[in-house]
Structure 1
Amino acid sequence: MNSQTQLKHLHGILSGRAMFSNLKQEDLKFLPSKGLVHDHIQIAGNRSGCSTMLIRLPRLSQFELDPNKNLEYQAACFSKASLSNHTPKLIVVLEPSKFLPMGALVVEEIKGKSINLPQDLTEMAKCLAQVHSLEVPDNYEKYPLICHSDPIAGVIKIINDQSKFINGVIDNSQVRKVLSEEITWARNFASRHVNHHPPPRLCLTDTHPGNFMIDTSGKVYFVDLEKALYGSPAIDLGHATILTSTLWDFDVQAKLSRVDIINFYQAYLKFLPVNLQDEIRPWLLPMRRLAWLRSVTWSCKWSAGQHNSKRIETGVRAQIQTHISNRLAAFVDLETILSIRSEWVGPNQLVLT
């Protein structure tokens, strides 16, 4: 289906709702692609208190959910996280249909730009602290979000599942050896903390810096909420500032110094209530290590999937796919791995507490 046909069908679906009764097809505009998982369409005009809105059109589910479950999950991510006032608000859910096979979400558009690192690290820390400080609901109210009642065991399961792809995509025996050592450490760490682990809180999961925006007032928002879950906030912090993440996005490219990283963590802790500071502080470095290992093993899984995929991207998406392939190769580059690993192995370990 070409873009104009898709806009025509979307206009027909939306204009049947009172909020969009005066919507014109020309009010809908595809935005430039930034990834392979979603398309975004801007809705011009002031409605429901928003100057503009975005339609998020899923192209696939990274949790491998069917279209209805995937849409329900993403809607819940937006609804729960928006209580922080640092994520877009959910406006409307458009159920899967013939012309919307994956459905769509209409959400508030955050007017702003990509963050700039390291300048915006403090405001990024504040954004994360506000989300992580949200009250944790009772179990039945967490649905449908994944809840890692033991956040260490939860991330270890993800790492174990993804690690099955390492040997199939990594030829370098030294890289495989280092990853094997890290996975052994992770499993032993989990075993030692079966009865002592951080309590779960709402986490954003995919917290690479490209998923944050800063508005004209200097406030930072997290805008890509499809993978939120209840787990360890320290995982979000690690993923936000590890080298593989800070070089991931087209628009946000930065190599943070150790001073930058330490300042980020210190700022984050100051934004938390004291009880949460004490709860999270002991887990900062080990969860940073697990966040990195989760990313590296995910890169192996993604690379294996792309190798077996028959989908051929064109135009901007082909450029994005090439960028992703290059970044994934850097994830498993031995020099990069050893540089990152020096944060927790060797004589010059990172001190975050």
Structure 2
Amino acid sequence: MALKGVAHDHVRLGDRGLVARLPRWSQQGLDPAANLAYQAEAFRRAAPCGHTPHLVAVLPPDPDSLPMGGLVVTEIHGRPPRLPDDMGAIARALAALHALPLPPAALRPPLLDPADPAAALLEQVERQAAAFDAAGLDPAARRLLDEELDAARRRRPDAPVPVALCGADTHPGNFLIDDAGRAWFTDLEKAHYSLPAIDLAHASLPTSTRWAPEVDAELSGAAVESFLADWAAAVPADLARAVAPWRVPMRRLTWLRTMTWMARWRVDGARLSAGMPEKLRTHLDARVVDIFRPAVIERVRGEWHLNG
């Protein structure tokens, strides 16, 4: 199948309604066996939400044929989302995932389950921010990013942290829309137990909505608010209330997570994406250049400066 993302190849298995999902590398830095075990369990746990492919088989790593192994999952027949029209469907898919019963802490491994998801996200951003030094950023862009990172360190809601099964990499390019208008989340590589506000941010920030070339659209403020309202209407009311104080702070931190990851891509993308079609690489490289322009950074961060 056509290469869409940066970490997996996909092979349609004839007319069986199945797809082999073959890792090219682990974005979490796991060895092949651990990476497969993690992803397999993520697909198993997400399946009851009704918006993700079902796991059918695990293909063990083989140094001669499948060095990273693979998963066989059910094929989802659908098209890329059209924004903003399909954001409501994406909101309902995320709501179904987030509303799944939360297992006791002892049963959550091997999926990541940080004691404090907001602090864990900040730690991830701090680690990835080391790439800023090598990324050759415009000094004005670097100043703005440093200001945002400093603000993220200092500002945290005085509210309990709600936890749910989250998709993590929830940009719209990782969804398909079927003929009935139902959204399917297809990439559970980094699923974990965390704060739903992070998924909501990653699904609707311009750094995400413009990443995949088959989506590539920027949402208006009204479209973002409509998306968030659709999600809140689809989850239990107590979860919606608990997530509300975290929406703006996690939007800033999730944006920083993406910006720091893209700084790494700016430095190391050619190696990480070996074999990627040139058209896709050109699009992603252009997006990375654009998001680090000071004017673009100012426009994006203006959202939470206005609302926070």
TM-score range, shorter chain: over 0.9
CA pair 197-157 structure 1, distance change in 2 beyond 3 A: farther
**Counterpart pick for 1:208 among 168, 171, 175:** 171
- Secondary structure of the equivalent of 1:112? coil
Residue 57 of structure 1 aligns with which residue?
Answer: 22
5+ residue gaps, structure 1, are 1-30, 47-51
Q: CA deviation at 1:312?
A: 7.9
**Deviation sequence 1:243-271 (CA, Å, 0-9, x none):** 11111001102111111111111111000
CA contact (8 A) 1:170 1:332 kept: no
C-alpha distance in 2 between matches for 1:293 and 1:130? 26
Q: CA deviation at 1:60?
A: 0.3
Residue 85 of structure 2 aligns with which residue?
Answer: 119
2:248 is equivalent to residue 285 of structure 1: yes
2:287 is equivalent to residue 327 of structure 1: yes
| Aligned amino acid, residue 114 of structure 2 | H
Residue 167 of structure 1 aligns with which residue?
Answer: 133
Q: CA deviation at 1:40?
A: 0.6
CA contact (8 A) 2:13 2:19 kept: yes
Question: What percent identity do the matched residue pairs reach?
Answer: 38
CA contact (8 A) 2:20 2:73 kept: yes
Q: CA RMSD in A?
A: 1.6
Q: CA deviation at 1:174?
A: 1.1
**Deviation sequence 1:255-301 (CA, Å, 0-9, x none):** 11111111111111000111111111111111111111111011112
C-alpha distance in 2 between matches for 1:177 and 1:339? 15
* TM value normalised by structure 1: 0.83
Residue 80 of structure 1 aligns with which residue?
Answer: 45
Residue 122 of structure 2 aligns with which residue?
Answer: 156
CA contact (8 A) 2:132 2:263 kept: yes
Trace 1:210-249 onto structure 2 (pairs within 5 A): 210-249=173-212
Q: CA deviation at 1:197?
A: 4.0
C-alpha distance in 1 between matches for 2:81 and 2:187? 14
**Deviation sequence 1:318-343 (CA, Å, 0-9, x none):** 33222221111122111111000110
| Aligned amino acid, residue 14 of structure 2 | A
**Counterpart pick for 1:269 among 232, 236, 243:** 232
Structure 1 runs of 4+ aligned residues shifted over 6 Å read: none
Greater mean alpha carbon deviation, residues 265-274 or residues 325-334: 325-334
Residue 6 of structure 1 aligns with which residue?
Answer: none
Matched positions, count: 307
CA contact (8 A) 2:162 2:196 kept: no
| Aligned amino acid, residue 231 of structure 1 | S
2:32 is equivalent to residue 67 of structure 1: yes
C-alpha distance in 2 between matches for 1:144 and 1:333? 39
C-alpha distance in 2 between matches for 1:79 and 1:43? 20
Q: CA deviation at 1:138?
A: 1.4
CA contact (8 A) 1:37 1:61 kept: yes
C-alpha distance in 2 between matches for 1:58 and 1:168? 27
CA contact (8 A) 2:9 2:21 kept: yes
CA contact (8 A) 1:78 1:88 kept: yes
Residue 96 of structure 1 aligns with which residue?
Answer: 61
Structure with more contact order per residue of length (Cα contacts < 8 Å, sep ≥ 6): 2
**Counterpart pick for 1:250 among 206, 213, 232:** 213
Residue 38 of structure 1 aligns with which residue?
Answer: 8
CA contact (8 A) 1:148 1:231 kept: yes
C-alpha distance in 2 between matches for 1:35 and 1:267? 27
CA contact (8 A) 2:6 2:273 kept: no
5+ residue gaps, structure 2, are none
| Aligned amino acid, residue 112 of structure 1 | G
| Aligned amino acid, residue 236 of structure 2 | P
* TM value normalised by structure 2: 0.95
Q: Give the greater-gyration-radius structure (CA).
A: 1
